Chain A
Amino acid sequence: MERPVTLVTGSRKGLGRAVAEHYLAAGHHVVGCSRKPADWEHERYRHVLADVGVEADVGNLLGEVRRTHGRLDHLVANAGVASMNHSLLTPAATVERLLQTNVVGTFVACREAAKLMRKRGFGRIVTMSTVAVPLRLEGEAAYVASKAAVVGLTQVLAREFAGFGITVNAIGPTPVATDLIAGVPAEAIDRLVARQAVPRLGTAADVINVVDFLLRPESGFVTGQCIYLGGV
């Protein structure tokens, strides 16, 4: 059987890297990207320098996937940036940066991935939202707005891509101990975790478990959903 081809954006570190390594261990060809070079490698892993917020970069990234593998089975649109600050202290430039990477970056990655997936009439796309959306987390207005947009995007793309055999679902992780939350005060994380039904930090394995489910060929009847973790 041919090895599946899986694209993971934001795979240099953190959750993206854990997802990429998981699918390499599962035997996939994995293509990843980030703005900086990766400091890890694998014989079936190819790292492309790309900023998902730059449309031309994403075009080049998917062009690379197409030329190397001629197909794409899975996209985990993981690349994202966060910012925690009271809205009265947040510059518009920060909001624009978050929207550019988290919303525009996810949109363009999904669009370009779907172009490649539709040829074989099969594709699985997983986007990343956050529990901060349903929790209306104070101090993260811009981040929450961008990740709420990801859910909306996911729901509409699910309908637009369904005819091509492509599912699009979002995962809303709880905080996971990665660089993304490294700058967030511990008390703020504690308060957030206390609002979960299962009050603990998430792990990469918690997220990967749901990604696994959504990527399965048998999950073709599951699309346009956002699965929140931690019982939020």
Chain B
Amino acid sequence: METTVDETRIVELIVRTLRALGEEGVVDLDGVEPTATTDLFGAEGLLDSIGLVSLVVAVEEALDDELGIRVGLADDRALSQRHSPYRTVSSLAGYAAGLAPAG
């Protein structure tokens, strides 16, 4: 889907949010410095289900506050290994960008 949202900015926003949650002790980053390719959820993922919920909700808020993008990131494929939009930082960014209203 073509959008006017810069996906790179969303990646940065997610990385920042993840780091903040780590500092607040909401999620345990286990010393990992998050990047676009960081595995979020799944076999190699950084987050447990509560950590994932916390990240997704915090990203929704940050998208609204910082980029004026109001989207719900709830998705039925959350627990799918192959199709989950929550697999990595960049897949979550791509998913959010795809939901953001174009123009």
Contact = CB atoms under 8 A, between A and B. Distances in A.
Interface of A: 55, 59-60, 63, 66, 111, 115, 118, 163
B19 to A, nearest CB: 17
A63 B72 contact: no
Given A60-B70, A118-B57, 5 more contacts: A59-B72, A63-B70, A111-B74, A115-B57, A115-B60
Contact of A59 (B54, B57, B70): B70
Interface string B64-76: 1000001010100
A37 to B, nearest CB: 23
Contacts of A118: 54, 57
B54 A63 contact: no
Contact of B61 (A55, A66, A111, A163): A66
Contacts of A59: 70, 72
Nearest to A60: B70
Contact of B50 (A60, A111, A163): A163
Contacts of B50: 163
A158 to B, nearest CB: 15
B68 to A, nearest CB: 11
Contacts of A115: 57, 60-61
A63 B64 contact: yes
A163 B50 CA distance: 9
Nearest to B74: A111
A163 B48 CA distance: 13
A105 to B, nearest CB: 15
B17 to A, nearest CB: 13
Most buried by B among A63, A66, A115: A115
A55 B72 contact: yes
A215 to B, nearest CB: 23
Contacts of A55: 72
A118 B61 CA distance: 13
B50 to A, nearest CB: 6
Nearest to A115: B57
